[in-house]
Amino acid sequence: MNGLVGRKAGMTQVFSDDGDEVPVTILEMGPCFVTQVKTGEVDGYSAVQLGFDPFTKKNPEKMAKPQRVMFEKRNLKPQKVLREVKLAPGQEEPKIGDEIKVDIFQDVSHVSVTAISKGRGFAGVVKRHGFSGAPMSHGAHEQFRHPGSVGMHSMPGRVLKGKKLPGQMGNERVTILNLSVVRLFPERNLMLVRGAVPGPNGGLVMVTKSSRAKIRVKQAEPAKKGKK
């Protein structure tokens, strides 16, 4: 299994063996349950659908009928969150109903975390893009935080695509690559990753094994031959 669904619990700090303070994010990972297995012969690709956060006794009536019938046919407890995780070629396929826990990351050093960032509403260019703004003096007035000129005259006579302008900030799907796994607590389904993770506390996160983690090795420069 290459990934797991969970929630962001918050941030704290731990200390390394050298005594360094390390900021970490606490992720409550799973347990997740396999609700569907997709194969290349039937669906065109190999993947596993995971269910997370089961409904309470009062809430299943609020679930859409097709989903409720799907869970009933498979004798599974209704889950609020459904996510797909692709299977690597040759990887063993789990069975429907299998419980997946955080211990799948036991031997993993780096992970990638995907979540929805915090929504900031409508923001100007200073907050959204880091513009410096206009000077506070030297004749400037009433336009201290404006973007300034955004186009040109008759040719091409329009604002080019991609121009940094005010607009909706945040509330986007963001993936942070290659976060170091600091510690695992399998008995409590917790994972500590180094650094920050997008989204608010309690927000959903998707954690996958990082496929781009590379160890950078600084190669020694060849010795220059001196002039005789």
In tens digits, what is the pLDDT along the chain, a chain of 228 residues? 789 999 999 999 999 888 899 999 999 998 999 999 998 888 888 899 999 988 876 666 677 888 888 888 888 888 889 999 988 777 788 899 899 999 999 989 999 999 999 999 999 999 999 999 888 888 888 889 999 888 888 888 889 999 999 999 999 999 999 999 999 999 999 999 999 999 999 999 999 998 776 555 555 566 566 554
Residue 221 lies in a domain: no
Residue 186 lies in a domain: yes
> Can you say whether the dihedral through the CA atoms of 136, 141, 142, 145 is positive or negative?
negative
CA separation for the pair 150, 109 (Å, rounded): 45
CA separation for the pair 82, 43 (Å, rounded): 17
Domain count, the chain: 1
Residue 96 lies in a domain: yes
Q: Domain with 178 in it: what CATH number?
A: 2.40.30.10
Residue 58 lies in a domain: yes
Residue 138 lies in a domain: no
Range of the domain at 70: 3-124+165-209
Sheet order of strands, 79-86 included? 79-86, 47-54, 32-38, 99-100
Q: Report pTM.
A: 0.80
Q: Which amino acid is at 69?
A: V
**Per the structure block, which two tokens stand in for 129?**
């893009």
CA separation for the pair 97, 107 (Å, rounded): 24
Residue 34 lies in a domain: yes
